[in-house]
Amino acid sequence: MKYLPLVLRNLGRNPTRTLLTVAAVALAIALIALLRTLPDGMQRMLNEFASNTRIGVFSEAGMSYPLPYAHLRKVAALEGVEAVASWTWVGGTHDPDRGVRFPSFAIEAEGLAGVWPDWAIRPEARADFARHRNGAIVGVATMTREGWQVGDLVTLVSTALPLSLELQIVGTIDQPGMPLLFVRREYLDQALQAQGSSLDWAGTLWIRARDPLVVPALQREIEALFRHSEASAVAQTEKGYLGRVFGFLEDFLTLILVVTALVAVCVVFIASNTASLAIRERGGELAVLRAIGFPRRTLLGLLVAETTLLAAVAGVLGVGVALGLTGVLRASSFATRFPPLGAFTVDGEIVLASLGLALGLGVVTGLAPAVQAIRRAPAQMLRELD
């Protein structure tokens, strides 16, 4: 501690360079901390919003391929199945010029109540959805964005099927950020029959099991049920299904981690260059200190202490910036409309890792130029100044 005033004095020799170095390292640490929240945040989001009793069934060829609707009753008859429902993509929009702005699906009224009893839908809204042939249940995010109210009549033009549907909004899904719009499958089927077609297929089947323990066995039975049909199917838990839907993010997250590593490497190079320049400028002072008897290890400790202290301050500032940004984001109205953003938090593990990285950067960036400087003879360093 007796050398701390000397370390602080040396850091204050060039305040502009010191501040810019701290700012650069702090921004890099903040970026790294924020990027580190993505993998854990995705996992927490899936754990929070996925049920352990719901199973999604979709074509083995891909989610865009249909399944035979007749299999819905066969799945419902399996032991351990509490309720079943189908989702059929409508791709509806009330303004064709603006395109599809929200996901819309056709579903059975009883399936919506049976498979998703945990969704925040009022009992009277569920009853009205079952009673009104052209009823629609809409998520609050879409209701707010489109300026709709319960009771409004809406014309939904399908981009997937050659028809338009006249809907009456009978209720909402009162979960923050919910964008879905549901129409009655029966109504969609009748509209297609009026055009000489029929709805004998479904996009995805959903099952709610009576007990989480029977889910693995149900998955195997469902896949076996479809194995010899015209469309083989894959049965996944809701968590697995959502993970498959967002599967493209896995490659993105890998890229993010690579970028994080590259940022750390760039910071090492930048800070090393700054430390090397600062040490070279003080070559004469180091030569004098060596000449009057300062041991090499003491000078090495002083030089490394400077870069480590600078990096530590930058690390604290960077972590503070990351914590502040995620806190502001969670408190913003945008997070209210899109709750999964609350899963991306800078937790204690990320804080400790970021501070450890900052300290490591301080030691690494100061060690190489410091060792190079103290290994040189004082007379040689003084001659170079001349």
Q: Examine the fold and report which residue of 183, 204, 230 is the final residue of a domain before the chain moves on.
A: 230
> Among candidates 132, 40, 82, 130, which has minimal Cα distance to 351?
40
Question: Do both 70 and 166 map to the same domain?
Answer: yes
* Residue 57: partners with Cβ closer than 8 Å, 6 or more residues away: 67, 75, 204, 205, 206, 207, 222, 226, 233, 234, 235, 236
pLDDT in tens, the chain (386 residues): 566 676 666 666 777 777 887 887 888 888 888 777 776 666 666 555 667 789 999 888 877 788 999 899 999 999 999 999 999 999 888 888 888 888 999 999 999 999 999 898 999 999 999 999 999 999 998 998 889 999 999 999 988 888 899 999 999 999 877 889 999 999 999 999 988 888 889 999 999 999 989 999 999 999 998 887 778 888 888 877 666 655 555 666 677 777 777 777 777 677 777 767 766 666 656 666 666 666 767 776 777 777 788 888 888 998 898 888 887 776 665 544 555 555 567 778 888 888 888 888 788 777 777 776 666 666 665 565 55
Question: Do both 39 and 94 map to the same domain?
Answer: no
| Cβ–Cβ under 8 Å, residues 152 and 183 | no
Residue 335 domain-assigned (yes or no): yes
Question: Do both 280 and 376 map to the same domain?
Answer: yes
Domain range for 126 is 66-230
Question: Do both 253 and 379 map to the same domain?
Answer: yes
Identify the pLDDT of residue 65. Answer: 86
Question: Do both 336 and 260 map to the same domain?
Answer: yes
Question: Do both 158 and 283 map to the same domain?
Answer: no
| Burial readout 246-275 (b: 16 or more C-beta within 10 A, e: otherwise) | eeeeeeeeeeeeeebeebbeebbebbbebb
| Cβ–Cβ under 8 Å, residues 373 and 283 | yes
Residue 42 domain-assigned (yes or no): yes
Question: Do both 129 and 274 map to the same domain?
Answer: no
Residue 328 domain-assigned (yes or no): yes
